[in-house]
Structure 1
């Protein structure tokens, strides 16, 4: 074992400890949020931000995407996105220090007729009811 490998192991241990402490808080915050902010890139390379209701399970975040929405068109051009959940201003102790959870990630189109697609729609319907079902149809 080299010194570099030992250091990496220490970093991994620190990360696991941090995740163990923050994991429940992150999950609680994520579960309390009903929408996420979604940053996409236009075909001209310009940033575009929108928001959308979401559901989460072990596979990831699910959203319904419409071709009518700008972010729907943008996701056809590039799959790189940034998502953010942010504490409601009315609930925050300070608007300058609102709780937030941010991820840079890659979006994937999931056909609603696949098992994964059905699981995603089911998660959205469980969370948002009839409206999500109507939008998914």
Structure 2
């Protein structure tokens, strides 16, 4: 059985989908850190995606194989997570250890951003997800910690 952390290793950033004040989806991206259960992003509260998540604390995190390395543009490997969102206070006991791991993954630019008052840590907790690796290779994301590939049942496949 594959786990989400194995699949996310090649990714440095995620495409965020949030819902704007106008009820339309808004897409952006952010570097991320995944701890095996949840996705963390460290973003500016000035950014539209942060404002959207504060007003409507739900988002999608989308990971997709680079066009330049895919074998077939129609079969790009991808993972989509539907998430509940919350802001992690800088006083929270989890903040420092998460940020240390985040810097280890993403580098020293993050240390510089940590000095800016408008940047905050958000946690995206998956409640549903899907992973697709090609034609007929689609899975749900499930398990106790929402971090495992689960074979789909009941789908009749492509016609």
Under TM normalisation by the shorter chain, which class is it? 0.7 to 0.9
Contact kept in structure 2, 1:37 and 1:85, CA below 8 Å: yes
Q: Which runs of 5+ in 2 are unaligned?
A: 116-159
User: How far apart in 1 are the matches of 2:97 and 2:71?
Assistant: 36
Structure holding more strand per residue: 2
Per-residue CA distance 1:25-73 (angstroms, 9 max, x = gap):
x433301100000000112211100010001113411111212211011
Structure holding more helix per residue: 1
How many corresponding residue pairs?
115
Deviating above 3 A after TM superposition, structure 1's stretches of 4 or more consecutive aligned residues are none
Per-residue CA distance 1:61-89 (angstroms, 9 max, x = gap):
11112122110111111011111111001
- Which of 52, 63, 66 does residue 30 from structure 2 map onto? 52
Query: Is 1:125 aligned to 2:103, yes or no?
Result: yes
User: Larger Cα Rg: Structure 1 or Structure 2?
Assistant: 1
- Which of 22, 38, 46 does residue 68 from structure 1 map onto? 46
Under a length normalisation based on structure 2, what TM-score does the superposition of the two structures give? Answer: 0.68
Task: Give the deviation of 1:104 after TM superposition.
Answer: 0.5
Q: Secondary structure at the match of 2:16?
A: strand
Q: Secondary structure at the match of 1:133?
A: helix
Contact kept in structure 1, 2:14 and 2:63, CA below 8 Å: yes
Contact kept in structure 2, 1:112 and 1:121, CA below 8 Å: no
- Which of 101, 104, 124 does residue 79 from structure 2 map onto? 101
Determine which structure has greater relative contact order: mean sequence separation of CA pairs < 8 Å that are 6+ residues apart, divided by chain length: 2
User: How far apart in 2 are the matches of 1:96 and 1:108?
Assistant: 34
- RMSD after superposition: 1.3
